[in-house]
Structures are given as structure tokens and as C-alpha cells.
Amino acid sequence: MSRRKLVVGNWKMNGLKAQLAEVEAIGRVAAEHPAVEVGLCVPATLIMAAAERKGAAFIGGQDCHMNASGAHTGCLSAEMLAEAGAEWIIVGHSERREAQGETDEHVAAKAFAAKAAGLKVILCVGESLDVRDAGDAESVVSAQLLASLPEGAAADWLAIAYEPIWAIGTGRIPTMEAVAAMHAALRASLASRIGGQADAMRILYGGSMNGDNAAELMALADVDGGLVGGASLTAEKFAPIIAAAG
């Protein structure tokens, strides 16, 4: 099964209007690599302006509420984000699971709501260092994935991102063998739930991906792209990762 590589920047809580020039530059890099699907998940405040400057990249958001509307001060619905110009949304990032107390059930509900609003979804999973050190990473992350998987999960609107929490922003990554084993385990778990769709679903790696390690990571059989934090903030750092994907 050949799956089109998906390389997505997660800007997290970074980016003011001054950084829209980077969106434009990254959109131009994306145009040079049509075999790769490239996107930027920017802060919600930038989605509208970024969508006008995205070139060949897509623009996404970083979270949405699970409800369509209502008394949820400070929150944004998937429909609002879609109307602003988002085409994809990240759900279940570990920074939200940890700091906002999001559970697997919340994550599944958010993914379902996003799909209902016409968004595509990147669903994040990953283990803590304690779990990795205890040797339980594959079973824990597989269980997290199955518990977070929305109803109707299918490869045309859902991608998975494996992001070991201890690799995010630290400059440390698992061994290539560990990444390969995790991605194979996650694909097997997906197959147990969604059958043949598992083969077509993209499973991204995230956590300290950069221009030096991206090619080796994305050459692994079940690694279908990357979810990139720090190295996606400028075209200069992001371009080599996009190039490494194809």
C-alpha cells in the first residue's frame, strides 16, 4: 500500500501576523513537492489570514470543541474553524491531554465533531517516559489509540500521529527500531478495529523531528509523514523535512 506522505507543522502557541511571511514561504516549498501533502496548524487567530497565503499547503487548527455550539466561553467549534479556512484539525495532542485534562473519550468526540464539520483530523497518541522505561509503550499507546478512535474512522479523513511525550521539544527521539515497532503495532491495532482501512491510514511520527532525522524516520515502512513542532516555524527549517518526505 502506498500512502501519500503527510507533513504537518504544529505551531502551538506561536505566531503573530509577522509570521505570515513564513506561511507564504512554506506554501511555496509545498508547491515544489507535489508528492507530499503539506500543512500548517497555526493558532486560531491566524487561520483566516494564513488561509489566504497558504499556497500549496493547507491550513489547520490545533483543537476544537466536541459540541457544535453553546455556552463554552473561550472555545471554538469545528464549524467555526472550518469557516475560518481550516481544512484539518489536530485533536488529542499530549499538551492538551496533560494541561487541559482531555480524556480519550473527549478526543474521540472532538474527532467526530470535526468530521461532521467537514474537517480532516490528526489524532495524537503517545507515551510518557515512565511508560517507555517500563517497557509498556506499545500496549499503552495501542490502547490509547483504540479508546480515542472516533466512530466511522476512515483513512480519507483521519490520520494518526504517534508522539512520544518525552521526545517533544527535547531533541531526543526513540531508536528507529522503536519507532518502527510502535508504528507497526498501531497499524495492527487499527486493523483490529477498522479492517482494511488501516492499510490506507497515515500514521505520522512527531517529537523532535528535524532536517537531520526526518529522512530516516520517514523511510520506515509504517511512518507516513511527520507532525513537526519547533522545526515548522520557519520555511528554512521546515523545507528540508518536506523535501525528505519526497
Question: Residue numbers of the site for ligand 13P (CB under 6 A)?
Answer: 10, 93, 163, 168-169, 206-209, 227-231
Any catalytic annotation for residue 163?
A: yes
Given 95, 138, 163, 183, which residue is catalytic? 163
C-beta closer to ligand 13P: residue 127 or 163: 163
C-beta closer to ligand 13P: residue 46 or 194: 46
Given 33, 93, 106, 183, which residue is catalytic? 93
Q: Which residue has the cell 510502535?
A: 182
User: CA 237, CA 243: separation in Å to the nearest integer?
Assistant: 11
User: CA 206, CA 165: separation in Å to the nearest integer?
Assistant: 9
Residue nearest ligand 13P (C-beta atom): 229
Q: Which helix (H) or strand (E) holds 206?
A: strand 203-206
Q: State in angstroms the smallest separation of the CB of 38 from ligand 13P.
A: 15
Q: State in angstroms the smallest separation of the CB of 168 from ligand 13P.
A: 4
Any catalytic annotation for residue 93?
A: yes
C-beta closer to ligand 13P: residue 142 or 208: 208
Q: CB-based contacts of 141: which residues, under 8 Å, 6+ apart?
A: 125, 126, 127, 162, 182, 185, 186
> Hey, what's the cell of 54?
497558504
Q: State in angstroms the smallest separation of the CB of 234 from ligand 13P.
A: 13
Q: Measured on CA atoms in the order 204, 80, 108, 97, is the torsion positive or negative? A: positive
Which residues are marked as active site?
Answer: 93, 163
